[in-house]
C-alpha cells in the first residue's frame, strides 16, 4: 500500500514523521515523505501559530485533489488542539493527537478519533528513518516555560527527557550512514533535569562514542553556563552554532511574554559563548508586533539585534493563539506588524552579510547536502551556507574549501 507522510512544522515533527515512515516500511508498506500520489495520507500537523493550523487544515484538500479516493489520517498538534476542525472531510478516517501519535501505523484499518491525555514520561518509539546527510534525533518532549503567546505546553505537555542509552543507541545506528547528527526537542535546554543528567553530559557522551558532527537545536538562555560551554569546548565533533532564543530585544516586551531573562542577561550569555567559541554562529528567533509593542519598543529590538551581531535571525510577525494570555492583550495592527517584519528583515540581512564577509577568502570545511541549480550547497560547522560548482562534487561529503565571495544566501567556494 502506498502511504504518504506529510509534515508541517518543526524539526520534532519531522523526526516523528521519520519514525512513522520507518514503522510503515517495517510493516511492509511503500511509505515515503513529501506530497505525492498515495492510497493513504498521514498528515503530521502543526499549531504553533494560527497560520500553521490553517495550513494543516488546508493540506487535507491537497490530498483529496491528488487522490479523491484516498484515506486521510490526521495526527499531531493541530488535532490535539481541535480535532473537530478535521471531521468535516469524509476522506479523513482517523484523527489522533500528540500522545502515541507514531502508533497511527497500527490504526490504518480503523476509523474514529483518539486524542489521549498527554503522558508524564517520555514515550520511546522506534528510531526514525535515516536521512542522506544529517540525521535529526529527538531527545526531549514538552515544555514548562509557559510563554504568554504559546500553546505548546498545552499541546505537547510537560518537559520529559529521553533515556540517554536510547539516544546513544539511535546515534550509533546511523553513524555510518550520515556525517552529522542534530539533537532536537521542544525544549532541549531542560534535558535531563528530572533524571540526574544534563545536555552537556549527553553531548560529551555522544562525542566520545559517535564520530560524526554534532549539532544542537534551539536553546534557552538559562542553559548557557561556563560549565556547559567548557564541556562543549572539549568535544571534537561539536558544531559551534547556537540558536539562542530571544523573541524580543526590549525588556518590557520580554516581561509581557513571560520570558525569564533580560536583554542584559542575554547579552552576557552571548559574550560567554564567544569567549569559548570566537567563530560561533549565533542565530535567533524574534517576534515583531507583540501585543502592546510600541514603535519605541520595536526600535529597542532592532538596536539590540545589532548590538548582539547575530549571524542570522528568523523574523516572525506575532500570531495570536486562542487560549493564551497574549490573546487578552491589546493587539498591534497587522499592517504595523508587516512593516516591522520588513524593517527587522533588513537588519537581519545586514547582520548576516557582515558575518559572512568575515569568512571570504578563508579555508573552511563543509558538509554538502543538496543540489541547487549548477551548485551543491552545504554548511560549515558554524552554519554558514556554502555553494560549490557541482561538477565532480558529491552530496553527503565533507570537503575542505576556500571561499571566494558572497553568493545567494551564503558564500561561494572552491575545493582546496
pLDDT tens, residue by residue, 127-170: 999 987 899 999 999 999 999 999 999 999 999 999 999 999 99
Rounded to whole angstroms, how far apart are CA atoms 284 and 25? 36
The pLDDT tens digits for 230-289 are: 999 999 999 999 999 999 999 999 999 999 999 999 999 999 999 999 999 999 999 999
Compute the half-sphere exposure of residue 9: CA atoms within 13 Å on the CB side of its CA.
30
* Cβ atoms of residues 287 and 249 within 8 Å: no
Give Cα 363 distance to the centre of its chain: 28
What pLDDT, on a 0 to 100 scale, did the predictor assign at position 194?
80
Q: Is the dihedral of CA 91, 96, 98, 104 positive or negative?
A: negative
How many CB atoms sit inside 10 A of residue 279's CB?
Answer: 17
| 215 CB-near residues (< 8 Å, 6+ apart) | 134, 180, 181, 182, 183, 239, 241, 383
- H or E segment to which residue 404 belongs: strand 398-407
What pLDDT, on a 0 to 100 scale, did the predictor assign at position 131?
81
- Compute φ and ψ for 47, nearest 5 degrees: -140, 25
Q: Does residue 114 sit in helix, strand or coil?
A: strand
- H or E segment to which residue 368 belongs: strand 363-372
Q: Does residue 298 sit in helix, strand or coil?
A: helix
The pLDDT tens digits for 20-56 are: 999 999 999 999 998 899 999 999 999 999 999 999 9
Rounded to whole angstroms, how far apart are CA atoms 365 and 288? 35
Rounded to whole angstroms, how far apart are CA atoms 97 and 116? 7
The pLDDT tens digits for 157-166 are: 999 999 999 9
- H or E segment to which residue 414 belongs: strand 410-415
Q: Is the dihedral of CA 394, 396, 402, 405 positive or negative?
A: positive
Domains and CATH numbers, the chain: 2-114 (3.40.50.12160), 134-357 (3.80.30.20), 363-415 (2.40.50.140)
Rounded to whole angstroms, how far apart are CA atoms 14 and 1? 22
* Predicted model pTM: 0.95
Rounded to whole angstroms, how far apart are CA atoms 213 and 203? 11
Strands 363-372 and 375-380: antiparallel
Percentage of the residues of the chain whose pLDDT score is greater than 70: 100
Q: Does residue 277 sit in helix, strand or coil?
A: coil
* Cβ atoms of residues 219 and 244 within 8 Å: yes
Q: Which of 89, 67, 74, 96 lies closest to 2, judged by CA?
A: 67
Amino acid at each position: 500500500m502506498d502511504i504518504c507522510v506529510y509534515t508541517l512544522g518543526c524539526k520534532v515533527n519531522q523526526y516523528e514523521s521519520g519514525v512513522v515512515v520507518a514503522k510503515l516500511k517495517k510493516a511492509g508498506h511503500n511509505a515515503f515523505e513529501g506530497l505525492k500520489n498515495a492510497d493513504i495520507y498521514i498528515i503530521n500537523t502543526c499549531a504553533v501559530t494560527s497560520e500553521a493550523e490553517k495550513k494543516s487544515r488546508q493540506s487535507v484538500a491537497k490530498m483529496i485533489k491528488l487522490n479523491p479516493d484516498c484515506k486521510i489520517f490526521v495526527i499531531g498538534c493541530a488535532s490535539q488542539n481541535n480535532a473537530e476542525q478535521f471531521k468535516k472531510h469524509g476522506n479523513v478516517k482517523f484523527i489522533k493527537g500528540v500522545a502515541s501519535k507514531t502508533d497511527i501505523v497500527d490504526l490504518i484499518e480503523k476509523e474514529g478519533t483518539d486524542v489521549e491525555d498527554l503522558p508524564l514520561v517520555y514515550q520511546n518509539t522506534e528510531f526514525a528513518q535515516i536521512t542522506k546527510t544529517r540525521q535529526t534525533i529527538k531527545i526531549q518532549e514538552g515544555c514548562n516555560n509557559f510563554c504568554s503567546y504559546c500553546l505548546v505546553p498545552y499541546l505537547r505537555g510537560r518537559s520529559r527527557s529521553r533515556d540517554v542509552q536510547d539516544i546513544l543507541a539511535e546515534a550509533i545506528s546511523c553513524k555510518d550512514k550520515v556525517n552529522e547528527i542534530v539533537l532536537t526537542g521542544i525544549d532541549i535546554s531542560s534535558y535531563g533535569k528530572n533524571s540526574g543528567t544534563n545536555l552537556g553530559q549527553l553531548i560529551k557522551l555522544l562525542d566520545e562514542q559517535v564520530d560524526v558532527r554534532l549539532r544542537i537545536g534551539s536553546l534557552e538562555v538559562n542553559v548557557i553556563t561556563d560549565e556547559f560551554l567548557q564541556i562543549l569546548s572539549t568535544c571534537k565533533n561539536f558544531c559551534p552554532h547556537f540558536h539562542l532564543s530571544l523573541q524580543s530585544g526590549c525588556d518590557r516586551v520580554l516581561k509581557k511574554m513571560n520570558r525569564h531573562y533580560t536583554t542584559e542577561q542575554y547579552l552576557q550569555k552571548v559574550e560567554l559563548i564567544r569567549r569559548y567559541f570566537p567563530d560561533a554562529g549565533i542565530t535567533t528567533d524574534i517576534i515583531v508586533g507583540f501585543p502592546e509593542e510600541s514603535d519605541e519598543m520595536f526600535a529597542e529590538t532592532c538596536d539590540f539585534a545589532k548590538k548582539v551581531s547575530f549571524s542570522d535571525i528568523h523574523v516572525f510577525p506575532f500570531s495570536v493563539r486562542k487560549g493564551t494570555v497574549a490573546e487578552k492583550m491589546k493587539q498591534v495592527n497587522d499592517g504595523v506588524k508587516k512593516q516591522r517584519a520588513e524593517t527587522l528583515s533588513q537588519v537581519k540581512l545586514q547582520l548576516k552579510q557582515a558575518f559572512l564577509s568575515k569568512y571570504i577568502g578563508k579555508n573552511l570545511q563543509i558538509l554538502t547536502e543538496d543540489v541547487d541549480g549548477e551548485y551543491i550547497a552545504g554548511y560549515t560547522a558554524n552554519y554558514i551556507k556554502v555553494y560549490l560548482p557541482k561538477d565532480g562534487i558529491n552530496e553527503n561529503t565533507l570537503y575542505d574549501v576556500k571561499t571566494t565571495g558572497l553568493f545567494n544566501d551564503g558564500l561561494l567556494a572552491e575545493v582546496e
